[in-house]
Structure 1
Amino acid sequence: MLIHLMQHGACLSKELDPHQPLSPVGREQVMKSARAARALGLRFELVVASPKVRSLQTAEIMAEHTGYPLPRIEVTDAVKAMAPVRTTLHFIMDYEGLDSIFIAGHLPSLGLLASEILTGGPNLDIAIENSGLMQINWNIATGQSGLNWSLTPAQLAEMKG
């Protein structure tokens, strides 16, 4: 299974909006990353977001650019910022058999999730920038995994899509 992890785009401060939606800069970041995802030919069988507005907005933009139906976006607490890694892993394992999923999530949980899949624990300090995108290949049955690539928002913005 290919797992694509993206931290939501930059958001407004709580003082400006307590729901912290994507800021104009964050929306533009995600749009550039989504165009790059389309240029890479990425297609997802499942798109997942946390209940936070900024995560859902990020997932919607990625879905629109990659041909995923917006009504099928799965919103779950399993990818919230402080969700236990085991909760997120079990959520993903429920979809074993899919080829490709996308998760619009938060720090620190995305970094901890990537480390757990790649090393079996919190052994790696993995940072994912706002609108950065990482692809991990994980064979759930065997436990084998590998990092295919990790692209920063700046790298994604350079790609023409």
Structure 2
Amino acid sequence: MYLYLVRHGIAKSKQEDPEQHLTKTGLQEVRKVAEFIKSADLHVGSIWHSGKARAAQTAKVFSSVMEIEKGLIQRDGLAPNDPIKPVQKEIDRFPKNLMIVGHLPFLSKLASKLLTDDESTEVISFPNSGVVCLECVSAGAWKLAWMINPQLLA
């Protein structure tokens, strides 16, 4: 199983937009990364995202580009400061490749916990629109497979 952790695209400030929708640049970067992943023929069974506008927009772009319309699910427990343990338990039982679109520090803590068993040890820096792919190598054991920084894509 592969777990794709995606940080939302660049969002507007709260002063500019209280709901913090994605900026034009944010949408462009998200689309660029989603198209790159699609071109690599990666398969995702479901996309979970938080209820925040910036994560929902990011997830919708990935869903549209990768043609995963039925698997787009808004989930509780994915907000920036939510505890990771409930989501980690669900991931352990999830049978298909999964994409989670969310926020910092949640994504960083989740990746750290899965890779080092310590959520407080930051092991990955997530840029906006960045994707980290973790591979489950055995029950509860994960390794970093790859990551994408949108600034590196032409």
Give a deviation string over 1:69-105, Cα, whole Å, max 9, x none: 1x5311112211111010221232342x21x111111
- Note if contact 1:10-1:25 (Cα within 8 Å) is conserved in structure 2: yes
Structure 1 gap segments, 5+ residues each:
none
Alignment CA distance shift 1:142-1:93 (3 Å): closer
TM-score normalised according to structure 2 size: 0.93
The percent of aligned pairs where both chains have the same amino acid is 28
1:150 corresponds to 2:118: no
Q: Is the 8 A contact 1:12 1:23 kept in 2?
A: yes
What residue in structure 2 maps to residue 128 of structure 1?
Answer: 126
| Aligned counterpart in structure 1 of residue 107 of structure 2, from 91, 107, 110 | 110
CA distance in 2, matches of 1:51, 1:94: 23
Q: What is the aligned-residue RMSD (CA, Å)?
A: 1.4
SS at match of 2:91: helix
Deviation, structure 1 residue 67: 1.3
Match of 1:72 in 2: 71
For 1:73 and 1:137, how far apart are their aligned partners in 2? 21
Q: 1:18-56 CA distances to partner (integer Å, 9 max, x unpaired)?
A: 000111111011011111111111221011110001101
Q: Partners of 2:61 and 2:89 in 1: how far apart?
A: 26
**Mapped pair 1:90 → 2:89:** yes
Q: Is the 8 Å Cα contact of residues 115 and 142 (structure 2) preserved in structure 1? A: yes
